[in-house]
Amino acid sequence: MRGNKNRDTAPERQLRAVLHKRGLRYRVNVRPLQGVRRTADVVFTGPQIAVFVDGCYWHGCPEHYRPARANQQFWHTKIDGNKTRDAETDQLLAAAGWTVIRVWEHEVPQPAADRVETAVRGAPREEAQANRSP
């Protein structure tokens, strides 16, 4: 299990490369909320958008997840726990005003980057929000 990377995986790097090529600037492996031990893979702090690139095995992809044959109960509990934590993370971030985008590791980077870019470029600017009248 030590060989499994928890950051800077190939799918993350590919998505970041496409986003960077499109002129988007972001932070990498950042905790969007202080005091909450959840790290997003790509974070746009201004528009408050957190992007998670989820591994098909570790996050239970409906298309590609195949249960382990050995120690089945342990792995079933582990993957279900990861899915529960992901849902909780989404709720915590949404409650704090963040937009969460989840990308499966098997997704083609360009369409995934399209979703991210649409969210980032469509998000209201901080200055515009601050200057609005009540």
User: What is the reported pLDDT for 45?
Assistant: 95
Q: Which residue has the tokens 């209201």?
A: 124
State phi, psi for 102 to the nearest 5 degrees: -110, 130
pLDDT digits (tens, 9 = 90+) for 24-64: 999 999 999 999 999 999 999 999 999 999 999 899 999 98
Task: Round to whole Å and give the CA distance between 30 and 93.
Answer: 13
- Please report the domains of the chain, with CATH numbers, ordered by start residue: 10-122 (3.40.960.10)
- In angstroms, rounded to a whole number, what is the distance separating the alpha carbons of residues 81 and 75? 10
pTM of the model: 0.86
